[in-house]
Amino acid sequence: MKLKLTKTESGFTLVEIMIVCSIIGMLAAISIPNFIRARQGSQANICINNLRQIDAAIQTWALEKKKGPSAPVTEADVTPYLKNKAICPAGGTSFANSYTLSNVSSEPICQWVPAVHMAP
């Protein structure tokens, strides 16, 4: 009685692993810039929405306090009329370093990305 021993090795070859790694790398190279672009777009939308809310709060404050178009506006005047904290998601840490207010007739301005984050 003779036993026949067969040795079967299972696993992936180096070439197969390299092909899978290159496919994963190509997918990452395609998707990462899209994720970054989507994040920047979301930040812009949030900031624009904050600017609209701040402008509405300024107008409400001016109406209630009977202020004219040239009346100066401060953060303390506007904050009670805002529902949530308004901070620019592109890097702001507080209202003061996120938005600039001047007077009732002018719109608030984002300090971080003023060219992109503009109220329409």
Cβ-count burial of 37 within 10 angstroms (0-12 exposed, 13-18 middle, 19+ buried)?
exposed
How far, in Å, CA of 32 to CA of 100, rounded? 33
* Spans of all domains in the chain: 22-110
**In the 8-state DSSP scheme, what is residue 11?**
S
- Write out pLDDT tens, residues 6-62: 666 678 889 999 999 999 999 999 999 999 999 999 999 999 999 999 999 999 999
Closest CA to 95 of 114, 73, 83, 79: 79
Confidence bin at 3 (pLDDT 50/70/90): low
Residue 4 has pLDDT above 80, yes or no: no
Closest CA to 26 of 15, 14, 36, 18: 18
Half-sphere exposure of 93 (CA within 13 A, CB side): 0
pTM equals: 0.77
Contact predicate 105/70, CB 8 Å: yes
DSSP H helices, the chain, are 14-65, 75-78
